[in-house]
Amino acid sequence: MIESLESLRRDGQSLMEDVSWELYQAHAGLKSKAELQSIYARYEQILGRDALDFVLNQFQLSTPGSEEHRSARLLLEWLVESQTGHVLAEIEEREIAWEFAAIVRLPDGREVPYMRAGIELANAPTRAERTALETARAELVARELAPMRLGRLQREKDYVESLGIAKNYNATFEALSGVSLSALAAECERLLRETQAMWDDMLPQALRTSLGIAVGEATRADALALFRAPQFDQFFPASDLEGAVRRQMIDMGIDPTANGRVRYDTGERPGKRSRAFCAPVRIPDEVYLVMRPHGGQTDWQTLLHELGHALHFAYTNASYPFEFRWVGDNSVTESYAMLFDHLMQNPGWLLRYSGLGRRELPSYLRAAALEELQFLRRYSAKLIYEEQLYSGRVPWDALPSLYVETLTSATRFNYDPADAFVDVDSRYYAVRYLRAWQLGAIVAQTLVEQFNEDWYRNPRAGPWIAGQLFGEGQRELAHELSRRISGQPLSFTPVIRAVECLAE
């Protein structure tokens, strides 16, 4: 029985800290498996129907627009996610153990750990080697990982709908997140139409020049190789990476470790996920930035992205209640990550902090524009596909074909049906990324207006970012934050405009 909001907050924070620490160790390669079920078992009191009804009642009784209403909505969204995590814990444990141990075996006898497959694909010296590795990876995924992921998606959808918060999974997401899926999907459709000509103009030449292949031949593995862009490696040496990024943060007036609260875990380690992540174990006091080196400009962009997350959590107002520090609209933290990683598209930043010179800068910026547009189109297509996946309108066995059709059409890279249930981020995280692009562009515009084009080295900018943005945690929804700092609604218009400027 939940006695009060304070007891729920206290136990909720303890649960999140324990889960975050366990997942950090597992995904960073420090443990071969995650033991989540035992953690959730210690918090049964807040993971049952009584707790959900208690918070739902608080939400329904509070006045819309009030801080009480905001707090209750965030707690309700978090509780649904936590209870879902409890239900899925056994499956997630199996997935993590599988990823740690899985080996991709090639016909020539070579063995590649599954966790390194993405890195090896991006760095494969020939297309034949890349194709062989991708074929073996997809076969392994189809045989072993995809069935686990399908079971997880089915169970997640069934459980969320069983809670009765709204009529189905999609309606429940909309009620808890404050985001209209249909409206955002319509914006994504419009983005795909408006950028089609630019994409058709840029991609063929890039594929011919960099990989020597035509559009119809290119696969998602080829996309990894194309955007790895090794021709620029000499300008982004690993030895300069952390030093350059830390120096820029200091120039901007912000401590890159947040007085020791941010811990950098950036080296190679067997079992570490190839996909970087930020693990806030205790907000704001203990935050881990985790990445596994790929090489070149990819690592620079990744470090900046994860540092945006890490500093956000480490500078969050410690006096705020649990829900304003730990939960909320992840579009906000993703927008700060994108604000920082998009410095890799800023000519002034690149000339000052990287090894690029003015002669190489135009070709690098065109490559950056191509990569940015690919990600925008890919995530727009992901949302359109995932809305169908969670809607229940499409049978599960028909989804692999829909996935291939939707993603291939948007990107012109051939996708594999094996990834139809693997290439799905939990609980509509694609929505958070898409709104983060919109919000990040507005935050960048606001910084230019307040601190000039070189805000990234203005010593007044860092304190403003830490106070006005990071300090608020995720108390606000993305569109509320946009209105507060700029008076503007979220839109893809400034995002598309920025890509067009890069591509000129």
Domain shared by 477 and 383, yes or no: yes
Residue 426 has a pLDDT of 85
- Which residue has 């074929």 as its token pair? 135
* Strand (E) or helix (H) holding 80: helix 67-101
Of residues 402, 478, 388, the one with CA closest to residue 441: 478
Quick one: 195 and 157 in the same domain?
no
Q: Which tokens sit at 45?
A: 């009191």
Do residues 114 and 207 both lie within one domain?
Answer: no
Residue 123 β-bridge partners = none
Distance CA 266, CA 257 (A): 14
Among 176, 196, 218, residue at a domain's last position: 176
What residue numbers bound the domain in which 300 lies? 181-503
Among residues 59, 465, 393, 488, which one has the least CA distance to residue 248? 465
Q: What is the CATH number of the domain that holds 309?
A: 1.10.1370.30
Q: Are residues 107 and 224 in the same domain?
A: no
Whether 278 and 309 have beta carbons less than 8 Å apart is answered as: yes
DSSP 135-168: HHHHHHIIIIIHHHHHHHHHHHHHHHHHT-SSSS
**β-bridge mates for residue 289, sequence order:** 264, 278
Q: Nearest Cα to 70, choosing from 382, 473, 483, 454?
A: 473
Strand bridging mode 111-113 / 286-290: unpaired
229 and 147 both lie in a single domain: no
- In the chain, the number of structural domains is 2
Rg (CA), the chain: 22
Give CA–CA dist 322/318, Å, rounded.
Answer: 9
Structure token digits, residue 283: 């907000």
**Does one domain contain both 167 and 52?**
yes
- Rounded CA-CA distance 374/362 in Å is 19
Half-sphere exposure of 460 (CA within 13 A, CB side): 7
Q: Please tell me whether residues 98 and 223 are part of one structural domain.
A: no
What's the rounded Cα separation, in Å, for the pair 156 and 154?
5
In one-letter notation, the amino acid at residue 271 is G
Bridge partner list, 287 = 262, 280
Cβ(371)–Cβ(262) under 8 Å? Answer: no
Which residue among 176, 192, 221 closes a domain? Answer: 176
pLDDT given at position 136? 98
The predicted model scores a pTM of 0.95
| Whether 251 and 111 share a structural domain | no
> Exposed, middle or buried, 447 (CB in 10 Å: 0-12/13-18/19+)?
buried
Cα 6–chain centre separation: 30
At which of 119, 144, 176 does a domain end?
176
- Joined together, the tokens standing for residue 436 give 């983060």
| Same-domain pairing of 295 and 354 | yes
From 438, 389, 473, 470, select the one nearest 78 (Cα to Cα): 473
Q: Which pLDDT tens digits describe the chain residue by residue (504 residues)?
A: 677 889 999 999 999 999 999 999 999 999 999 999 999 999 998 998 999 999 999 988 999 989 999 999 999 999 999 999 999 999 999 999 999 999 999 999 999 999 999 999 999 999 999 999 999 999 999 999 999 999 999 999 999 999 999 999 999 999 999 999 999 999 999 999 999 999 999 999 999 999 999 999 999 999 999 999 999 999 999 999 999 999 999 999 999 999 999 999 999 999 999 999 999 999 999 999 999 999 999 999 999 999 999 999 999 999 999 999 999 999 999 999 999 999 999 999 999 999 999 999 999 999 999 999 999 999 999 999 999 999 999 999 999 999 999 999 999 999 999 999 999 988 999 999 999 999 999 999 999 999 999 999 999 999 999 999 999 999 999 999 999 999 999 999 999 999 999 998
Residues 457, 433 within the same domain: yes
Residue 219 DSSP code: B
Predicted local distance difference test score (pLDDT) of residue 1: 64
CA–CA distance, 1 with 18 (Å, rounded to integer): 21
Contacts 24+ apart (CB under 8 A), 5-12: 5/58, 5/71, 5/75, 8/46, 8/51, 8/54, 8/55, 8/75, 9/75, 9/321, 9/322, 9/323, 10/322, 11/43, 11/45, 11/46, 12/46, 12/75, 12/78, 12/79, 12/82, 12/322, 12/323, 12/326
* Statement to judge: residues 487 and 376 lie in one domain: yes
